[in-house]
Amino acid sequence: MFDFEFHNPTKIVFGRQTVARLDTLVPANARVLVLYGGGSAQKNGTLDEVLGALGSREIQQFGGIEANPTYETLMRAVELIREQKLDFLLAVGGGSVIDGTKFVAAAVAYQGEPWEILETYGAKVTQALPFGSVLTLPATGSEMNNGGVVTRKSTQSKLPFRSPHVFPQFSILDPDKTLTLPPRQLANGVADAFTHVVEQYLTYPVEGRVQDRFAEGLLQTLVEIGPKVLNDPDDDVRANLMWVATLALNGLVGAGVPQDWSTHMIGHELTAGYGIDHARTLAVVLPANLQIRRESKRRKLLQYAERVWHITDGSEEQRIDAAIERTRSFFESLDIRTRLHDYDIGADAIDALIAQLEAHGMTRLGEGKDVTPDVSRRILEASL
Ligand code: NZQ
Ligand code: ZN
C-alpha cells in the first residue's frame, strides 16, 4: 500500500485573455519585481500586457534571465530586491524564468550564502517572498510545483532544489502565449512533459492504480498531440499541451509512488557541460536508461508497452524492446535527436560527465538508489 501527503497551493487561472486577472491576483499595495528572460516577452507584447494589468503598482523590472538560469545573474535580482525593498515577484516566461524566480524568492531572506540552497537541495529554506507567474512555454511544470533548477556558471553545476515555500501563489496559463514559440521549444515541451510522467511512472508496481491510469492518460495525450504540436497546432492542441505539461509535474501522478529522476540528473550534466536544451538531454538519456535498467523496470515496462503503445504481441523481451523503440521514435518524430553523437559528443566525454555526477553527489540515483556512477556510465555509453 502507498501513503503520502499531497498539498499544492498554486492557483491556476487558465484561458485566453487571463493576463488581465493580474490586477486581482497581485496585492494592490505590492511592490512588484517583474522578472523575464532574454527578450521574447518584450518582443511579443506579453511584458507590456503584464505591466498594463499591474496598473499603478510600484513596479521594477529584471530581464535577462537565461535559458538554464544562472546563479550569477539571479543574485543581481536578489540585490535589486533588497535595495528597493520589493515584496512580490512576478515571473513572465518559461521554466527558466519561473525557476529563477523561485530561487530569488528563497535567496532574498536566506541566512548565509544562497548557493547553499542548491547544495542542500532546498532543505534549509525556511521562507520565501510570495510570487506568481505568467507562463509562456508549456514544458517544465514549474508553474505549479515547488522545484527549480539553477546553474552556477563558474563550476558548471546545474542543481535542483525543492521547498514547500516556493510554490507559486498563482500561475496564469493563457494558451495564446505559446503562439510565438518556435517549433523547437514546442517539441521540447512535449518531450520534457513526457519524460516527467515517465520518471514518476516507469519504476516498479505498487498498486497505485489511480496514479498509473492518470500517468498513462497524460502519456497518451502527449502521444496524440505530439505530431500536431509541430505541424501547425490549433488552439485546442495548444491548450491541451499547456494543461498536460502542468499536470505532468504538479505532484499528482507522483503522489505515493516510487520515482526515478535519474534521466533528469544525468541530463542536467549534459546541459551544464554542453549547453544542450534540457528536453533534448532527456530524449538522449531516457531510451538508453530504460534499456540498461530493463530488469528492475520489467513489470512497468510491460505495462507501459501495453497501455501506452498498445504492444501486446511477442515475447516479454520483444515487447520491452518495442516499447523502448517507440519511445525513441516518438522523440525523433518531434525532430529531437536521441543520440549523443547527434550533438557531437563522443565516448571521450563520458569520464568528465561521470566525474561531474560524482562531484554533485548524484551517485545513488533512481527509484532503487542503484544507479551508481558505473550504471550512469553504461547509460551514457548506450546513448552514444
Ligand atoms: O529568454 P526568452 O527570450 O524569453 O526566450 C525563451 C528561451 O530562449 C524562449 N521562450 C519562452 N517563451 C517564449 C519563448 N520564445 C517565444 N515565445 C514565447 N512565448 O524559449 C527559450 C527556452 O525557455 P526556457 O524557459 O529555458 O525553457 P523551459 O520552459 O523548457 O525551461 C527549461 C528550464 O527548466 C528546468 C530545466 O532544467 C531548464 O533549466 N526544469 C525545471 C523543472 C521544474 N521547475 O520543475 C523541471 C524540469 O525537469 C526542468 O529541469
Ligand atoms: Zn524536465
Q: Per residue in 25-58, pLDDT tens?
A: 999 999 999 999 999 999 999 999 999 999 999 9
pLDDT band for 372, please (50, 70, 90 cuts). very high
Helix (H, G, I), strand (E, B) or coil at 283: helix
Same domain, 111 and 210: no
Same domain, 172 and 186: no
CA–CA separation, 51 and 61 (whole Å): 10
Is 3 contained in some domain? Answer: no
- 246 CB near ligand 1 (under 6 Å): no
Q: Which of 135, 157, 145, 147 is nearest to 71 (CA)?
A: 157
CATH code of the domain in which 330 resides: 1.20.1090.10
189 touches 239 (CB < 8 A): no
Same domain, 142 and 79: yes
71 touches 101 (CB < 8 A): no
Closest atom, ligand 1, to C-alpha of 189: 30
- 148 CB near ligand 1 (under 6 Å): yes
What is the number of domains present in the chain? 2
Helix (H, G, I), strand (E, B) or coil at 152: strand
Same domain, 171 and 191: no
Same domain, 90 and 40: yes
Q: What is the pLDDT of residue 320?
A: 98
Would the pLDDT of 140 be above 90?
Answer: yes
Work out the mean pLDDT of the chain and round it to a whole number: 98
Same domain, 173 and 313: no
Last residue of one domain, picked from the residues 177, 192, 217: 177
Same domain, 156 and 189: no
CA–CA separation, 191 and 230 (whole Å): 12
The helix (run of H) or strand (run of E) holding residue 331 is helix 316-333
Burial classification of residue 286, based on how many CB atoms lie within 10 Å of its CB (0-12 exposed, 13-18 middle, 19 or more buried): buried
- Closest ligand to the CA of 188: 1
CATH code of the domain in which 128 resides: 3.40.50.1970
Same domain, 187 and 310: yes
Is 245 contained in some domain? Answer: yes
Question: Is the overall model pTM greater than 0.95, yes or no?
Answer: yes
Is 291 contained in some domain? Answer: yes
Q: What is the pLDDT of residue 247?
A: 98
Percent over 70 (pLDDT), the chain: 100
Is 231 contained in some domain? Answer: yes
Would the pLDDT of 367 be above 90?
Answer: yes
Average pLDDT estimate for 218-225: 98
Same domain, 212 and 308: yes
Q: Quick one: cell of 347?
A: 565516448
Any idea which residue has 492542441 for its cell? 237
Same domain, 70 and 161: yes
Same domain, 141 and 186: no
Side-by-side strand order, sheet with 88-93: 11-14, 170-173, 131-135, 88-93, 31-36, 58-62
The number of beta carbons lying within 10 Å of the beta carbon of residue 66 is 16
Q: How far is the CA of 186 from the centre of ligand 2 (A)?
A: 14
Task: Give tens-digit pLDDT for 117-138.
Answer: 999 999 999 999 999 999 999 9
373-382 vs 262-274: helix axis angle to the nearest 10? 70
CA–CA separation, 259 and 267 (whole Å): 16
Any idea which residue has 520518471 for its cell? 199
Last residue of one domain, picked from the residues 121, 154, 177: 177
Is 5 contained in some domain? Answer: no
Is 38 contained in some domain? Answer: yes
Same domain, 266 and 132: no
Closest atom, ligand 1, to C-alpha of 185: 20
Last residue of one domain, picked from the residues 162, 177, 192: 177
What range does the domain containing 371 cover? 182-382
DSSP secondary structure letter of residue 32? E
Q: What is the pLDDT of residue 232?
A: 86
278-292 vs 373-382: helix axis angle to the nearest 10? 100
- 93 CB near ligand 1 (under 6 Å): yes
Percent over 90 (pLDDT), the chain: 99
